[in-house]
Structure 1
Amino acid sequence: MTGKIDDLNIFRIRRELEINCQPVDRSDHQLDDRCLKLQQFFKEKFNKNPDLIVSVPGRVNLIGEHVDYSGYGVLPMALEQRVLVAICANGTDKTTLVNMDESYEKAEIGSTFSGCTTPSWYHYFQCGVQGALNYSESMKYKGMNAAVWGNIPPCAGLSSSSALVSAAAVCMFLMNEPVVTAPSKENMANLCAAAENLIGTQGGGMDQAIAFLAQKGIAKYIQFNPLQCTDVILPSNAVFVIAHSLVEKNKAASNDFNIRVVECRLAAQVMAKKKGLEWRNFRTLKKLQDKLAPSMLIDNNIVPLCESLLEDRAYNKKEIAELLEVSVEELVDISMSPDTKNVDVFYLRKRACHVFNEAARVLRFKFCCDEFPEEECLEAIGELMNKSHKSLKELYECSHPQLDKLVEISNPYTYGSRLTGAGWGGCIVALAKENKVEDLITALKKDYYSKLGIGDEDLGNYVFVTKPNSGACIYPLNIDQKP
């Protein structure tokens, strides 16, 4: 495939993906401006114009942290910040990648990717390409020139990496039209979630789901296995402020995240064993809860059971293996990931209690949005956010002193605030009081960012107001609007 991607294919693909993804909002002049700049950058690098731009949003999880990989629903919304990828076919078996951020090196990638454990930025693009190729035997690798530009802060818990994975997958489907049509948005989300495992992150699929399912102005309650999405209408005067701690955590370059995944899995298996169940059948706390207490989640009645079955202390591999009546080697093979096989300290009760309580908070958050008057709803969901942060700090132990400081500074101006994303750095999300937004930003500037040398000019890169935005979309360039 050489030259310009066929215009008629673009129209057909775009029409199909506008069912699966959200169409570009042509009134969004900021996005238009960014696309123009990326188009100019592409032409400078490749001496031709791109055929189109793929746009995928970041996300902020409002409530439901570290529960998706345990099988529970989450409640995110898409951000206005997005990853943009401009592409054209190059007729070779190589893809050349450049990034408008000069700190990211140029890369050339081939047709296969079997994964890595210390990923560079372009490996996320490779994940998405490989995920698309794995979708169908009819998919063929086709080289392209691609220019990337993102304004989602990296390593901030706002899903910049998953947005790039998702954008790359869409690009590869575009390159294969009309032989292979794009799958449903749910299948796109699932294949991108599976693809990201190639770099060792054992996530639960929230980031990819909101990337494709998001709608402007609406948050989403997302459930898994099977993937289901329910609209959540937030209070009309809800204002969310994102504040970056400037502590960056690449969850793929550390095993902290995957240790938590394993701790939750082991907690489910030990609890199952103690209740006389076949523990090998349980890899998530949700599956265990469905078996033991299917109607108790929102009332937290599962938590006392958890506390009665698990001790509030560290466990090691040997005693967990003894509890499950297997050898340590079998335990590692059945329940642990490659990067956690040498870990020997696991906190089962604290992790499980967080997950059960956080999953209940998600349901309560949705209920409040559905049923409460606006002011009562704001107070209630703000308190849920505060409780979530406390649990993430004390039970899940994935906060950071700088995140805690941001939450503390924000408290007088908000209904509630919490870390968002994996933690260990990254961002907080604050539900600001509508008449206190400017005061909140001023306080963050004075008491946090100025002490780190961040002035007015750069403040907008680290603190911003956001609202629910649309999902992945295609942005055709310089072509007539045919039906």
Structure 2
Amino acid sequence: METNPPKLKAVIAADARLQKLKTAFENKYGECPAFYASAPGRVNLIGEHIDYCGYAVLPMAIEQSIIAAVSVNQSGSIELANTDPLYRDYSVSCTADIHIDRDNPHWFYYFLCGVKGIQEHCGIRELAGMRCMVDGSIPASSGLSSSSALVCCAGLATMEANHKMLSKVELAEICAKCERYIGTEGGGMDQSISFLAEKGTAKLIQFNPLRSTDVRLPDDAVFVISNSGVAMNKAASNHFNLRVVECRLATKVLGKALGLDSTGLMKLSQVQTELQVSLEEMLRLVEEKLHPEAYSLEELTQSLGTEVLETVLTENTMHVSLFQLYQRSRHVYGEAQRVLRFQSVCESGGADALSQLGALMSQSHASCRDLYECSCPELDRLVDTCLQSGALGSRLTGAGWGGCAVSMVTRDKAESFLRAVREAYYPEDPRRTALEQQRPLGDPLEQQRSLFVSAPARGATISVE
């Protein structure tokens, strides 16, 4: 694996998307870009909502990406524009303290998260002036990590414009932290795969320390992404952060019930590490030590104390009065088991490997739906449709509450599967039909379709002409 994001010699004329972006940049700013920064989206094959609990996940990068065409100057400002007219321009002074408005998560604030993260990490007093034109082919609010890819793209562009040299791991860790400027308490999976991905392989991403391992997917299987048509913006609600908080509270309560010093415990994986027991044993301990009924704020205050609660709750979860600790813990420990089993099956192969992998994916969805409660009726309907259309396994991917499902299908049945899902799910709602437009293969807009096969793509890059 390369230490730093690779610099590629871009053949602009042969790349329709880059040519279109270059033309848009020149029309906007009257000059040529100096370089292009690119960061892919991702699909998480299995391991949902467990990265921020300290457990390994198993995503792959997808071909859809965020690309920024960038020029560098001494103007003292950073100018941002987007090829999509729905997203307005924005500019900020290089000398000003960059402000991120959590209450209005516009696209440019995600970009500025990446800028601010690099600035603070590298101790840059005055940033280089930049003109940036951003183009995205990842459907927004679809669970394919469009927001994190934008943060990563911005971080990479800022590093390059300011002549800094950071490793992929450093960039991933910086971008995971700086996305919290906009209020999302993620665990780092999205940023890690965006930087660490390699073409042709999925990755087992592990944390503390951050590292990745190639996971070769079965040759006779393909993974199909399908958009439910329901948008979900993590930063615009408290659904995501509430789950993070519930897992932190579960860590504290479980640790205390097991006689551990819970002062420094914030992740469910830390409880397992302290006890040095298996995930199966952790599931047993959850059954024994946590009650299925919701924990009230009063009960948690009596158990943990007001000061502890204040360190765990986020700004947008302060008003919550009931917390599901038992259900969230069961999901996390069970999902962590499924990730390791998925990796093991991929490594060992065998005649029934596909059926095993499919079963693990479907079990993951059931857990997300019933224990983590991060699905929605449309996603459940889409997953059922995919299974009825020939998928060996199907599950929501990403934060949930909308967005996409990922399904595993045998290569020889991919076309019939796409046709069956397209006919069964999308005509039910005119909005879905509009999403899933028929476009010829090779059309640049093909990447924005709502039902497509994706192979593991490469990670973030800098391209120059």
Instruction: Please indicate, yes or no, whether the TM-score normalized by the shorter chain is above 0.5.
Output: yes
Aligned residue among 166, 170, 180 for 2:152 = 166
2:426 is aligned with 1:426? no
Task: Write the deviation string for residues 2-59 of structure 1: whole angstroms up to 9, x where unpaired.
Answer: xxxxxxxxxxxxxxx96422454979998x2211110000001111111111111000
Query: How far apart, in 1, do the equivalents of 2:356 and 2:451 lie?
Result: 24
| Paired position in structure 2 for 1:470 | 458
**In the alignment, residue 220 of structure 2 is paired with which amino acid?**
N
Q: Give structure 1 stretches of 5+ with no counterpart.
A: 1-16, 478-483
Query: How far apart, in 2, do the equivalents of 1:19 and 1:277 lie?
Result: 39
| Paired position in structure 1 for 2:196 | 213
Query: How far apart, in 1, do the equivalents of 2:381 and 2:23 lie?
Result: 41
Contact 2:9 2:464 in 1 (8 A): no
1:458 deviates by 4.7
Moved over 6 A (4+): 25-30
Give the SS at the match of 1:301.
helix
Change (3 A) 1:332 1:139: same
1:162 deviates by 0.7
Give the SS at the match of 2:148.
helix
1:435 deviates by 2.1
| Paired position in structure 2 for 1:435 | 412
Task: Write the deviation string for residues 64-89 of structure 1: whole angstroms up to 9, x where unpaired.
Answer: 00000000010000001011100001
| Paired position in structure 2 for 1:247 | 230
Query: How far apart, in 2, do the equivalents of 1:414 and 1:22 lie?
Result: 36
Contact 1:202 1:258 in 2 (8 A): yes
Higher alpha-carbon deviation: 435-444 or 468-477: 435-444
| Paired position in structure 1 for 2:319 | 342
Change (3 A) 1:29 1:230: farther
Contact 2:301 2:309 in 1 (8 A): no
| Paired position in structure 2 for 1:125 | 111
2:121 is aligned with 1:135? yes
| Paired position in structure 1 for 2:367 | 391
**In the alignment, residue 426 of structure 1 is paired with which amino acid?**
G
Contact 2:9 2:463 in 1 (8 A): no
| Paired position in structure 2 for 1:267 | 250
What does residue range 161-240 of structure 1 map to in structure 2 within 5 Å? Answer: 161-177=147-163, 181-240=164-223
What does residue range 299-318 of structure 1 map to in structure 2 within 5 Å? Answer: 300-318=280-298
1:473 deviates by 0.4
| Paired position in structure 1 for 2:299 | 319
Query: How far apart, in 2, do the equivalents of 1:23 and 1:408 lie?
Result: 42
Aligned residue among 131, 136, 147 for 1:150 = 136
Give the SS at the match of 1:241.
strand
Task: Write the deviation string for residues 155-207 of structure 1: whole angstroms up to 9, x where unpaired.
Answer: 01111111111111111111111xxx321111110001111000000000001
Give the SS at the match of 2:175.
helix
Aligned residue among 368, 379, 382 for 1:403 = 379
Query: How far apart, in 1, do the equivalents of 2:49 and 2:411 lie?
Result: 29
Give the SS at the match of 1:48.
coil
Contact 1:241 1:430 in 2 (8 A): yes
Query: Cα RMSD between the aligned structures?
Result: 1.8
Task: Write the deviation string for residues 413-467 of structure 1: whole angstroms up to 9, x where unpaired.
Answer: 1110100000000000000122221222112221211222316635751111001
What does residue range 48-87 of structure 1 map to in structure 2 within 5 Å? Answer: 48-87=31-70
Give the SS at the match of 1:280.
coil
Aligned residue among 270, 278, 281 for 1:296 = 278
1:90 deviates by 3.2
Contact 1:96 1:144 in 2 (8 A): yes
Change (3 A) 1:379 1:22: farther
| Paired position in structure 1 for 2:442 | none
Contact 1:109 1:126 in 2 (8 A): no
**In the alignment, residue 122 of structure 2 is paired with which amino acid?**
S
Query: How far apart, in 2, do the equivalents of 1:18 and 1:28 lie?
Result: 24
Query: How far apart, in 1, do the equivalents of 2:38 and 2:126 lie?
Result: 22
TM-score by length of 2: 0.93
Give the SS at the match of 1:153.
coil
Query: How far apart, in 1, do the equivalents of 2:338 and 2:420 lie?
Result: 28
**In the alignment, residue 194 of structure 2 is paired with which amino acid?**
A
**In the alignment, residue 316 of structure 1 is paired with which amino acid?**
S
| Paired position in structure 1 for 2:101 | 116
Higher alpha-carbon deviation: 113-122 or 423-432: 113-122
Change (3 A) 1:143 1:28: closer
Query: How far apart, in 2, do the equivalents of 1:110 and 1:53 lie?
Result: 22
| Paired position in structure 2 for 1:12 | none
Query: How far apart, in 2, do the equivalents of 1:457 and 1:263 lie?
Result: 39
Query: How far apart, in 2, do the equivalents of 1:262 and 1:457 lie?
Result: 39
Query: How far apart, in 2, do the equivalents of 1:246 and 1:147 lie?
Result: 27
Give the SS at the match of 2:263.
helix
**In the alignment, residue 98 of structure 1 is paired with which amino acid?**
A
Contact 1:317 1:344 in 2 (8 A): yes
Query: How far apart, in 1, do the equivalents of 2:220 and 2:7 lie?
Result: 25
Change (3 A) 1:25 1:426: farther
1:237 deviates by 1.8
Task: Write the deviation string for residues 289-326 of structure 1: whole angstroms up to 9, x where unpaired.
Answer: 1112x3412xx2210111111000111111011122x2
Query: How far apart, in 2, do the equivalents of 1:308 and 1:87 lie?
Result: 56
1:114 deviates by 3.9
Contact 2:70 2:133 in 1 (8 A): yes
Change (3 A) 1:26 1:108: closer
**In the alignment, residue 403 of structure 1 is paired with which amino acid?**
L
Change (3 A) 1:334 1:64: same
Query: How far apart, in 1, do the equivalents of 2:216 and 2:459 lie?
Result: 16
Change (3 A) 1:417 1:355: same
TM-score by length of 1: 0.90
Alignment coverage as a number of residue pairs: 450
